[in-house]
Amino acid sequence: MNVLVTGGAGFIGSHVCEQLLRSGHAVWALDDLNDFYSPCVKQANLREIQSLAGRFEFVPGDVTDRAALAGLLGGVRFDQVIHLAARSGVRRSLQEPALYQRVNVEGTANLLEAARLNGVKKITIASSSSVYGVNAKVPFSESDPIFSAISPYAASKLACEALGHVYHHVYGLDIAMLRLFTVYGPRQRPDLAICKFARLMSAGRPIPVFGDGSALRDYTYISDTLEGIMACTRQEFGYEVFNLGESQTVSLCRLVELLEAALGCKAVIERHPPQAGDVPVTCADIAKARERLGYNPRVKIEQGIPLFVDWLRQNQF
């Protein structure tokens, strides 16, 4: 089938493109290669995708450009769209809330409308665990109330979920909305904690730790997230929301210990006050994904961190 992957040159998107190609599909990757982090990183991702045998086309473009989306979806008969393009990061969203609304919300609306007008019925969309906000109930379930977002990024993802539901309810599109929980692994964005900490520690520089290190995250290895995304491409749902996490919490202090062991060096901690927008814990209830998708995360953090460090040592930018 023909599949469009928005954000296809990014961390998760590049892995999705590769898996689709390995499965025999034709893939178009739309990405604007913006300077949120060095475009060289995404360009390296593209080179790896292009080295695979298969039908692949990179389309430079921005989901906020309605005309470009209309031209792309009008010119190729896509069977499915996997929508991963977004401005990411809670902390950056505090600095540029309007940009996050424009790219994440308006961009998603543009994509859904282009899909509707061009007969694309099935779309898988990346949401985020951040939509749960400060949730006292752990683990987080898809049925939990989600009206307590505490960052512009989280609010933008809530809006995307609402748009997905509208386009299913009104126009009949098949929408799978995936709440992703702290994905890590090869090609991870350099601004994310695991990658950022590993680079700083390797260089003997201090790592910035916000708060006392007790914050808990549900770290999910990229291969497990990829399994859940691909499962969504093989089924129809109407409209469904799924958590894709490991369902195991790891404290920031424990994460640093695992990095120290994998890197063979001691971290120098630079303490900072807690940051606005950060939640104390994320933890996925994955019962629904297990039942409906056959989702079964396999890579524990104790395995995943050494795997990531091995990749990083071979791919320093």
In SS3 terms, the chain reads as CEEEEECCCCHHHHHHHHHHHHCCCEEEEEECCCCCCCHHHHHHHHHHHHCCCCCEEEEECCCCCHHHHHHHHHHCCCCEEEECCCCCCHHHHHHCHHHHHHHHHHHHHHHHHHHHHCCCCEEEEEEEHHHHCCCCCCCECCCCCCCCCCCHHHHHHHHHHHHHHHHHHHHCCEEEEEEECCEECCCCCCCCHHHHHHHHHHCCCCEEEECCCCCEECCEEHHHHHHHHHHHHCCCCCEEEEEECCCCCEEHHHHHHHHHHHHCCCCCEEEECCCCCCCCECCECCHHHHHHHCCCCCCCHHHHHHHHHHHHHHCCC
Q: CA-CA-CA-CA torsion for 202, 208, 214, 219, nearest 10 degrees?
A: -60
Determine the pLDDT at residue 136: 75
As a whole number of angstroms, the distance between CA 96 and CA 77 comes to 35
Determine the pLDDT at residue 60: 97
**Closest to 59 (Cα-Cα) out of 3, 138, 118:** 3
Determine the pLDDT at residue 210: 86
pLDDT over 80 (residue 316): no
Res. 156 pLDDT band, cuts 50 70 90? very high
The per-residue pLDDT of the chain, averaged, comes to 94
Over its C-alpha atoms, the chain yields an Rg (Å, rounded) of: 19
Determine the pLDDT at residue 114: 97
Q: Which of 112-116, 170-174, 207-211, 261-265 has the lowest mean pLDDT?
A: 207-211
Strand 250-251 versus strand 216-217 pairing type = antiparallel
Percent of the chain with pLDDT over 70: 99
Q: How many structural domains comprise the chain?
A: 1
pLDDT over 90 (residue 157): yes
Per the structure block, which two tokens stand in for 154? 């989280």
Mean per-residue pLDDT, 295-316: 94
Active site residues: 153
Determine the pLDDT at residue 71: 95
- Answer for the pair 161, 242: CB distance below 8 angstroms, yes or no: no
CATH number at residue 217: 3.40.50.720
Each residue's pLDDT tens digit, 49-104 = 999 978 999 999 999 999 999 999 999 999 999 999 999 988 899 999 999 999 99
Neighbouring C-alpha atoms within 13 Å toward the C-beta of 112: 27
Res. 135 pLDDT band, cuts 50 70 90? confident
Residue 284 lies in domain: 2-314
pLDDT over 60 (residue 317): no
